[in-house]
Amino acid sequence: MKQSLLLFGLALQLLGHAQSPVVSPYFKIDQFGYLPTAQKVAVIARPQTGAGAPGTYTPSATLQVRRHGDHSVAFSATAQAWNSGATHAQSGDKVWWLDFSALSETGVFYVFDPLANLASQPFRIAADAYTLPLRRAVKALYYQRCGTAITAAHGGQWTHSACHQGNGQDTGCRLVSNPSTASAKDLSGGWHDAGDYNKYVNFTYGTLHDLLFAYENNPGVFTDDFDIPESGNGSPDLVDEIRYELEWLLKMQQPDGAVLSKISVTEFQAASPPNLDNASRYYSAASTSATLTVASVFAHAARVLKTVPNQSAFADLLNARAELAWTWAEAHPAVLGSNSGFQSADPEVSDYDRQARKTCAAAFLFALTGKAVYKTYFENQYTALHPYEWSYFYAFESTYGDVLLFYSRLAGISPSVKSNILSRFNNSTNGAADFFPAVAAHTDAYRAYLKDGDYVWGSNLVKARTGLMYLNMNLNLQSPANQAAYQNAALDYLHYLHGVNPPGLAMLSNLQADGIAQAARQIYHGWTGDGTAWDNNPIPGLLTGGMNQYYSGTNAYFNNQPVQKKYLDWNTSWPENSWEITEPAIYYQAGYVRLVSHFATAELSVAVSNPQEKRELEFSVAPNPASQSIQISIAAPGPWQIQLLNLEGRVVLAQLLDDSGWLSLEQVPAGSYLLRVGQANGSGTWGAQVLEVVH
């Protein structure tokens, strides 16, 4: 599957241009594309205030959607002014919508104004339009692994040896309040939490529940070939990645069931790459909230992993450990985590959140074990969860809302509880002014409404989880008459994250090599941040934090920007505090993975530069990755033409071959290449795959 991901990017770069339209920042489209039968709306903007102002462009009377290969017209229509030509306050833009939903043809296209000679970025219409970003986003979690080497075999150019293995670090981590050798524990593993290298138990709560729900809701899309070390082991790679985090949580759990709260440096120390970070790291003592977090995620994971090949024994272990955590928390209901000794984030939650996590843990434990004690506890406590109590299911407590809905789908629960939960959810989604009524009224010119106050630090996660709310309406069979509208709403929040936003930026990092020209280029991250060797070449596929109207740094760009323009593609540290805008986090990543996975497919097709080229020819290449030479074997008589193309589409090596033979790579620079094999006369059957050269 690694080859298919790169081929999509190559295809966009290899497609020829019969004319040269100017790519315009006024055109906002989902750069990954659209599903063939889904609603498709391009946003055209003319800035009036903030970034890009004053804009001068007005769309011509007729706009076109053209095929990228030969520039022929596939669709044409008139763009409609949003809100009768009013300026959208959140973005400061006048906006037009071009609805090309009627175009269901698959291929690569762009929006075009024939009078102004302006074009959008290219995009695909395909059933697998979102498989590429899904796979990149899941793979990005691999780069967040702590305590293991990220090697060229799977990490490409983003590599480091095993990190945080030094003296006083994770393999011999000491208690911050008593850093004697007697307190040392092996707490290695897990994911780095965000742009820093710290690890927090409570911050895995929404992260792991979102990833587990993603797998439950669409397991077929999570195959065993995402290019991580466990690929090919018989378990889906998302499960392998989740297990990497769960194994760290098992280390954080003590023999009596209590769970330690966090691992962190004492201040803000970091280095690039992570293996050069030699600062001492410490753990904080166990807390009730961390223990309940583990009870909840272990029970959920055990239930899911029981259905996964090769994971039943691990699921049984999680089952036992979840109940052990519950027992400890029952006996220690209010042991608060302390952040004394640290300047990093406080891992403790509020009294309400601690109780809410216990209620939710009971739901998963009942689903896992069927024991009446957990059912009784949940049904006695669920009305105190804010989404239910307030009848307001919203992104900031989305996991609690998810658990309410999860419980309502279980067998053996009280019918009145199910009815009450679904009624509150339906009333919230369809009745709260800032949810479906705002969507139906087209309140947001960029089609993914949040009220001003929701554009906070991490607003991209708020966008993802709001989209998930509409998917939950369909998952829980609410308001059947609105099913298509909910699906479209969820897609619009995904489109926002993919480029239908005022900056026109796909909020996933460094996917330019995949043909996503306007993807986030700089992110705040200890490994790939400002001044590092990876400053402008960060880890690919990480979701950034997003627009933040409460940005507190000193960058003057943010002065007087409308709320949807409070974003900048940069990674400068204090006092500019870019972490409030562009820092990724595992919980952002998980929310995005869950949203995009709903619309992805298991296989990624290959767009090709030559309409006659087809992936019909079967051939093998070994080794791959290769350093000096490769052997190509073709199960058909030749002669065959072999071409090696670089990322710009230039042929760097060509050779004729019979049915098998060797190709020397000694003069080929290290990197990724498209290897094409076809008939010697250049016509007929072709095949292609990616070759990695790693001198």
pLDDT of 620: 83
- Rounded Cα distance between 625 and 153, Å, is 7
pLDDT over 70 (residue 351): yes
pLDDT of 693: 84
627 versus 205: the higher-pLDDT residue is: 205
- The per-residue pLDDT of the chain, averaged, comes to 92
Least confident among 284-288, 444-448, 556-560, 641-645: 641-645
Q: What's the pLDDT tens digit per position in 338-350?
A: 999 999 999 999 9
pLDDT of 655: 83
Q: Rounded to whole angstroms, what are the CA distances from 481 to 426, 486, 508?
A: 13, 10, 34
For 619-693, give the CATH class: mainly beta
672 versus 87: the higher-pLDDT residue is: 87
Query: Across residues 296-324, what is the average pLDDT?
Result: 97
Q: Kindly report the number of other CB atoms within 10 A of residue 300's CB atom.
A: 27
pLDDT of 647: 57
Q: What's the pLDDT tens digit per position in 17-62?
A: 445 789 999 999 999 999 999 999 999 999 999 999 999 999 999 9
Give every CB contact of residue 427 below 8 A, 6+ residues apart in sequence. 391
Predicted TM-score (pTM) of this structure:
0.87
Residue 303 burial by CB count (10 A; 0-12/13-18/19+): exposed, middle or buried? buried
Give 648's pLDDT tier (boundaries 50, 70, 90): low
pLDDT over 90 (residue 628): no
pLDDT of 602: 82
pLDDT of 675: 84
Q: What's the pLDDT tens digit per position in 401-437?
A: 999 999 999 999 999 999 999 999 999 999 999 999 9
pLDDT of 524: 98
pLDDT over 90 (residue 637): no
pLDDT over 50 (residue 609): no
**Helix intervals (H) in 498-563:** none
For 160-207+232-349, give the CATH class: mainly alpha
Residue at 391: amino acid letter = S
What is the residue extent of each domain of the chain? 160-207+232-349, 619-693
pLDDT of 480: 87
The end-to-end CA distance of the chain, in Å, is 23
pLDDT over 70 (residue 543): yes
Q: What's the pLDDT tens digit per position in 463-522?
A: 999 999 999 999 998 888 899 999 999 999 999 999 999 999 999 999 998 889 999 999
pLDDT over 80 (residue 672): no
Give 606's pLDDT tier (boundaries 50, 70, 90): very low
Least confident among 107-116, 117-126, 506-515, 643-652: 643-652
Q: By the 8 A CB rule, do 295 and 365 touch?
A: yes
Q: What is the DSSP letter of 507?
A: E
Sole residue written with tokens 């406080």? 346
What would the two tokens of residue 285 be? 């003592």
Q: What's the pLDDT tens digit per position in 165-178?
A: 999 999 999 999 99
Task: Give CB contacts under 8 A, 24+ apart, made by 411-419.
Answer: 412/370, 412/375, 413/375, 413/379, 414/379, 417/379, 417/382
Give 633's pLDDT tier (boundaries 50, 70, 90): confident
